[in-house]
Amino acid sequence: MHEYSVVSSLMDLCETHAKKHNATKIEKVVVSIGERCGMDKQLFMSAFETFKEELDICKEAVLDIVDEKVELECLDCKKTCTPPNLEYGVCTHCGSQSVRLIKGTQMQLLSLEMV
Ligand SMILES: [Zn+2]
């Protein structure tokens, strides 16, 4: 499953960070999940629970998920906007349809609390 591979690489990232800071334990992992990244939050959480058991340093870690709203950038008026509904294809400033998603499509590691 998609969620499992994402969480797996997230764990690698956590471990790398922990090693770099000589931490012995990760207490909290904060990630943001984009509205449109196609990830199931429940699955993501259960994948996290599974993986953290395999990693000594993460065993007691708590997962905190922040929702990331979709944000669009208009290629015509160069402004950014947050679509008010599920209409992701139109600029709310000028009505142009030349927009691209700049936020809300990814999972990102925001912060780690370690000791
Ligand atoms: Zn526009």
Per-residue pLDDT tens over the stretch 17-54:
999 999 999 999 999 999 988 899 999 999 999 999 99
Q: Give the pLDDT band (50/70/90) at residue 88.
A: confident
CA of 78 to the centre of ligand 1 (A): 6
pTM of the shown model: 0.85
- Centroid of ligand 1 to alpha carbon of 110 (angstroms): 29
Crossing angle between the packed helical segments 2-20 and 41-54, to the nearest 10 degrees: 50
How far does residue 80's CA lie from ligand 1's centre (Å)? 8
CA of 77 to the centre of ligand 1 (A): 4
Pairing of strands 80-81, 107-114: unpaired
Instruction: Give burial (CB, 10 Å; 0-12/13-18/19+) of 22.
Output: exposed
